[in-house]
Amino acid sequence: MDGNAAPIPGTDMTGICFRDQLWLNTYPLDRNLVFDYFALSPFYDYTCNNEQLRMRSIHPLDISHLSKMTGIEFMVSEVMEPHLFVIRKQKRDGPEKVTPMLTYYVLDGSIYQAPQLCNVFAARVGRALYYISKAFTTAASKLEKVGYVDLEDENLPHEPKAVKEAIDFKDVKRVDHILTSLQRKLPAAPPPPPFPEGYTPPSTTEGEQGPETEQADPKLPSVDPILDQGPSKRIKYA
């Protein structure tokens, strides 16, 4: 990417990544040179105070000079050489008064913009609501099958049972009514938020597939491990 164009203030740049392999092959990535590497990326703001210090041949992260200035500045807040560097963009209004704006991180030579906390919460809540709505839909459909027996089982001779389990169908109907009411109050399930770019879901074995894998193929029959276990596991009622 071309790092000479200054980013537009307020632009969401979480979907892009910057990496200069030629620079990484030439210079070591450490706390002394990481800011020079960050200045090549499109995340860098050439109107910041750090750039003014660079033009005066002063180290751009010299806090003794930055604390005397006001405006936009960048600071390296966390360092785990040589793999991770966290750079914070902030607005300075005085020697001890700064307001954080955005956060960037350099991970193994690749520079990213960290998402804001509100966007992270919105994505997590949206994904949770999606699966909660799916759970209510599945529960409501399974409750309709409670109390019914396959026709082929009804033709088989009934063996006397020493103990019969009693089920209060009033409770079943009451629970069914509650779930149906809650399902009607919930809005339509939004699609699940996409996974971050470059994320690969962990592979699962055939016997340990998660709920996302089971829902990905609509052609597979949905099997409930409790209520739909086949004719041999169902309770017959006289």
179 vs 146, residue with greater confidence: 179
**DSSP for residue 223:** -
- What mean pLDDT is predicted for residues 179-196? 74
pLDDT band per the 50, 70, 90 thresholds, residue 122? confident
pLDDT of residue 203: 62
> In the predicted model, is pLDDT for residue 36 greater than 80?
yes
- What mean pLDDT is predicted for residues 118-142? 82
- What mean pLDDT is predicted for residues 80-100? 92
Distance separating alpha carbons of residues 158 and 66, to the nearest angstrom: 87
78 vs 156, residue with greater confidence: 78
Distance separating alpha carbons of residues 193 and 208, to the nearest angstrom: 23
216 vs 197, residue with greater confidence: 197
- What mean pLDDT is predicted for residues 83-111? 92
> In the predicted model, is pLDDT for residue 44 greater than 70?
yes
Distance separating alpha carbons of residues 202 and 66, to the nearest angstrom: 45
> Most distant CA pair in the chain: distance in Å?
97
Cβ-contact 27, 10 below 8 angstroms: no
Both tokens of 48, joined, read: 């910041």
How large a percentage of the chain has pLDDT more than 90? Answer: 34
Both tokens of 74, joined, read: 């960048």
> In the predicted model, is pLDDT for residue 71 greater than 50?
yes
pTM over 0.75: no
pLDDT of residue 104: 94
Most confident of 87-96, 124-133, 213-222: 87-96
Element (H or E) spanning 177, and its range?
helix 169-185
Strand duo 84-92 + 98-107: pairing: antiparallel
Q: How confident is the prediction for the chain on average, in pLDDT? A: 75
- What mean pLDDT is predicted for residues 171-197? 75
pLDDT of residue 207: 46
Both tokens of 147, joined, read: 């109390």
